[in-house]
């Protein structure tokens, strides 16, 4: 009998992370809800258990090396890692300063590498890592620091895939477009009608859309897929009459 997979999802307290934790649990995985806010972590773990799934919490800040060591060291095996934790801010290029870039890279890039470095030591052959990039890497105004960081994730994704291939560990990424999440609602430039004008499919994405893509890339169905970035953006990246 195949043992139950253990999946770690960072930033799992809301939005895409929450939807991913719920999806992986519904697929039969034991999910580690990794989240810096203990109340959010407990709430999501409770949702999973109420639905008949299996979950536990790991309260941690992905930029805290000591917390990462403690959280990861207590797990003897990790089959799936979803590097979802991240930050976003809106700021015109001329207002950006070095610390804006440093913070964006610390959370969105360095933490991905540091979490992954610790996890692969406990990941068996057949394991899978899914990183979160963004459709924004193809262009957006007032997000230079975010775009730079998420572009770095896309490159890091390919490098990790090559580094871990001989261990039988696959590494892929998902690049979401405009997704209806709490993070989107907090954006100071959010105009849903403007987003919709640039969406060929005529709607914003839902967290479950991204969770489905992550679940596929983490599954045995994608056993011959590694180093790829899957755009899940409702066609926004196609450009044409819907954008530029």
> Which residues have a Cβ under 8 Å from the Cβ of 92 and sit 6 or more positions away?
142
Q: Where does residue 17 fall: left (phi above 0), alpha (psi -120 to 50 degrees), or beta otherwise?
A: alpha
What is the C-alpha separation between 6 and 101, in angstroms, rounded?
Answer: 33
> Both tokens of residue 232?
């899940």
Which residue is catalytic, options 101, 143, 146, 242? 146
> Which residues have a Cβ under 8 Å from the Cβ of 107 and sit 6 or more positions away?
62, 63, 85, 86, 87
What is the C-alpha separation between 134 and 39, in angstroms, rounded?
Answer: 27
Beta strands in the chain (DSSP E): 6-10, 30-35, 54-59, 80-83, 128-132, 170-176, 229-232
242 part of the active site? no
- Residue 5: phi and psi, rounded to 5, are -70, 150
H helices present in 27-127, as ranges: 38-50, 65-73, 98-105, 111-120
What residues are labeled active site?
A: 146
């Amino acid at each position: 009998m195949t043992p139950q997979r253990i999946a770690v999802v960072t930033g799992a307290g809301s939005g895409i992370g929450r939807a991913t934790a719920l999806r992986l649990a519904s697929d039969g995985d034991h999910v580690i809800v990794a989240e810096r806010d203990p109340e959010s972590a407990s709430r999501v773990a409770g949702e999973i258990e109420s639905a008949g799934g299996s979950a536990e919490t790991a309260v941690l800040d992905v930029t805290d090396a000591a917390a990462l060591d403690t959280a990861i060291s207590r797990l003897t095996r990790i089959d799936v890692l979803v590097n979802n934790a991240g930050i976003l801010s809106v700021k015109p290029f001329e207002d950006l300063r070095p610390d804006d870039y440093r913070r964006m890279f610390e959370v969105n890039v360095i933490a991905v590498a540091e979490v992954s470095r610790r996890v692969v030591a406990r990941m068996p052959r057949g394991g899978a890592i899914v990183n979160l990039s963004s459709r924004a890497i193809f262009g957006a105004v007032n997000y230079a620091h975010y775009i730079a960081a998420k572009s770095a994730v896309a490159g890091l994704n390919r490098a990790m895939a090559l580094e871990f291939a001989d261990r039988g560990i696959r590494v892929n990424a998902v690049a979401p477009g405009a997704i209806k999440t709490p993070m989107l609602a907090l954006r100071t430039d959010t105009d849903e009608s403007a987003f919709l004008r640039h969406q060929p499919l005529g709607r914003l994405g839902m967290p479950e859309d991204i969770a489905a893509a992550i679940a596929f890339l983490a599954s045995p169905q994608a056993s011959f897929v590694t180093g790829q970035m899957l755009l899940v953006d409702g066609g926004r990246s196609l450009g044409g009459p819907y954008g530029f």
